[in-house]
């Protein structure tokens, strides 16, 4: 048998070594919020991140790891990643994010600043999940990348997750009494 793994959706996870205390203090100081995919919780407006000193080491790591991830995706060498927008998410008890995509960018992601136990996973949706309903009739021995309608990644402090912007995802409810804090962002590419 020849097996072809067609139309794979890559998700890259990178463990960073950021000073999370400074980023967390900055995140908690923000006041203006908006409603997008969030059900409850705080989502900041897009940040002027180039002027925020506490975010500069993270920005540097984000660009460096985006370049690594784009090589896996075989993006052209004459394309340079840039952050299109960036915002802070703070989910308290029972707050979550609805399924959504990021339609105007190439890559998107999340960086986890404070992840209490039981504060919710990021869950990715198989683009063919609506067509997989018949599998429930026959069942499967174990779920894997070929037969799952969703797949989750358990966040942890200092974890950077990168994925294609068109990959639908949601965030599970925070079952903890502590705040879950993350940075979300969109990345586009321009010619060098």
**What's the pLDDT at 56?**
96
Please say whether the beta carbons of 186 and 37 come within 8 A.
no
Give the ranges where 10-79 is alpha helix by DSSP (H): 20-29, 56-72
Q: Specify the residue for token string 């994010």.
A: 97
Domains of the chain, CATH where assigned = 12-133+148-191 (2.60.120.620)
Name the residue among 11, 17, 10, 25 with its Cα closest to residue 181: 25
How many Å apart are CA 70 and CA 142, to the nearest integer? 31
Q: Give per-residue pLDDT as tens, 19-74.
A: 999 999 999 999 988 888 999 999 999 999 988 999 999 999 999 999 999 999 99
Q: State percent of the chain over pLDDT 70.
A: 98
């Amino acid at each position: 048998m020849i097996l072809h793994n067609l139309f794979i959706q890559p998700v890259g996870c990178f463990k960073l070594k950021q000073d999370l205390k400074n980023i967390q203090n900055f995140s908690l100081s923000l006041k203006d919020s908006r409603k997008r995919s969030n059900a409850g919780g705080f989502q900041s407006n897009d940040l002027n991140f180039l002027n925020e000193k506490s975010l500069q080491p993270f920005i540097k790591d984000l660009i460096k790891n985006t370049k690594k991830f784009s090589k896996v995706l075989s993006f052209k060498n004459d394309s340079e990643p840039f952050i299109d927008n960036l915002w802070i998410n703070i989910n308290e008890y029972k707050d979550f994010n609805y399924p959504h995509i990021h339609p105007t960018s190439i890559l998107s992601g999340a960086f986890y600043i404070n992840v209490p136990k039981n504060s919710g996973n990021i869950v990715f949706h198989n683009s063919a999940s609506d067509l997989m309903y018949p599998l429930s009739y026959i069942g499967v021995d174990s779920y894997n990348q070929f037969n799952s309608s969703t797949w989750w990644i358990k966040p942890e402090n200092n974890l950077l997750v990168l994925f294609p912007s068109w990959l639908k995802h949601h965030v599970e409810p925070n079952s903890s009494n502590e705040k879950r804090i993350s940075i979300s962002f969109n990345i586009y590419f321009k010619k060098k």
